[in-house]
Amino acid sequence: MKKKHHHKKKPGFFKKWSAKLHLWLGLGIGFLIFIISITGALYVFKDEIENLTRKEVIYHNEQNIAQKQVLPIRMMEKIVVEQVKEKYPVHWVNIPIDKKMSYIFYWYEHNTDAWNYFDEFPVYKAAYVNPYTGKVLRIYDEKNGFFNIVKMIHWSFLLKQDWGTYVVGIPVIIFVIMLITGIVLWWPKNKAARKQRFSFKWKNIKSWKRKNYDLHNVLGFYSSVFALIFAITGLFYAFFVVQAMIYMVFSGGETKYPDFSHIKTKAPIELRTEGTLDKIINTVQQKYPDAFGFAIDLGHEHMDDHEHPNFEVYVKHLSYSYHKSSSLIFDENSGELLHTHDPKDKNFGEKTVNANYDIHVGAILGLPTKIIAFIVSLICASLPVTGFLVWWGRRKKKKPATA
């Protein structure tokens, strides 16, 4: 008895439109997604690489520090400024808890009238300083440094931040749609297809087109969950609505983010002395002996200075990650601690918002999650390439038929 030939089932409406969308969107934004993904991959190991290349200056190597005193911060600042000779004032200083580590003084200005990254930040440089002598060990031009340029291509394609983040954000929204339509197209119809979709079966296959097709499908599927996480945590920076939604979902419906701007300096300015900041620094060091470090705003006039509602000190608890942090509010005239906001005081929505950067760059659990972020970023960069080759191969195949 002859077997009946089954006609190939036509794809359903949803699958058909998913295929069209996937192709058109892919051809439209493929190149941009390639750039965003490659720069993301390059940025992942920034800290590890800088910890190696800056090893000699991260530690100041001052001897017998137990018997020595760190210079008062304003005196140290004056000595540093004399050595660096920068026309802009120092903006802030990073102070490590580990006494063997150097202080880092930062010059950072933001000019919102510019249209591109290089003009938007007139200066962004860092000086590593021995806090016992005030000697500048090395100055880094962070603005023109490799990692910062990579980060700003990733962040805004080197355009002004205000709208450059949208120029990146919109292709990322489209990429999220492509991940979803990609999974719809990938979804296996039957048992045989299931076998082929989860792994590479290349034993007797010589065709590069088939191998490329598998690379696009199989790698796309395995990276899709992580790619979605990285895409959404990236959209957090481009669209405030994403930030608000993440906070709302994880805080159980809370719509108001905690606001401490009402806690202001009350003491008269006459109480402010050269030693006020030293008093603040000592309080932080005693309160968090196991933290990694903290940042102190040196409080000069800056191009981007909007009146700070209060004097806030940000404490970073872990060396590899930002998500575990405390913020302290001080009276900037008397140096009195007015308010403490530690990780234990934060609701889950706040913790999620605080962890967004670390999830995005893969730093949340240290090296293992960074390796995942690196591999997924490379796969995301490969998808527009393999996808384009799938389309190109089919296009060439169709040509003779239409001739």
CA–CA separation, 124 and 109 (whole Å) = 7
**What confidence tens digit (pLDDT) does each residue in 31-42 have?**
999 999 999 999
Q: Do residues 182 and 26 make contact, with C-beta atoms less than 8 angstroms apart? A: no
% pLDDT > 70, the chain: 92
Question: Which residues on neighbouring strands pair with residue 59, listed in sequence order?
Answer: 101
pLDDT at 203: 72
Q: Residue 185 is encoded by which pair of tokens?
A: 């197209």
The average pLDDT across 92-96 equals 98
Assign 325 to helix, strand or coil: strand
d(CA 332, CA 201): 66
Residue ranges covered by each domain of the chain = 13-34+159-253+366-398
For residue range 137-160, list pLDDT tens digits in order.
999 999 999 999 999 999 999 999
Exposure letters 252-268 (e unless 16+ CB within 10 A, then b): eeeeeeeeeeebebeee
Which alpha helices (DSSP H) does 131-219 contain, by range? Answer: 146-156, 161-186, 191-198, 208-214
Pairing of strands 325-330, 103-109: unpaired
DSSP character at residue 339: E
Tell me the backbone φ, ψ of residue 346, rounded to 5 degrees. -95, 140
Supply the angle between the helices 367-402 and 13-43 in degrees, to the nearest 10: 130
Distance CA 299, CA 315 (A): 17
Single pTM value for the model: 0.89
Q: What is the pLDDT of residue 102?
A: 98
Region of poorest pLDDT, from 6-20, 61-75, 321-335, 371-385: 6-20
Q: Which residues contact 284 (CB under 8 A, 6 or more apart)?
A: 95, 294, 313, 315, 328
Q: Strand, helix or coil at 293? A: strand
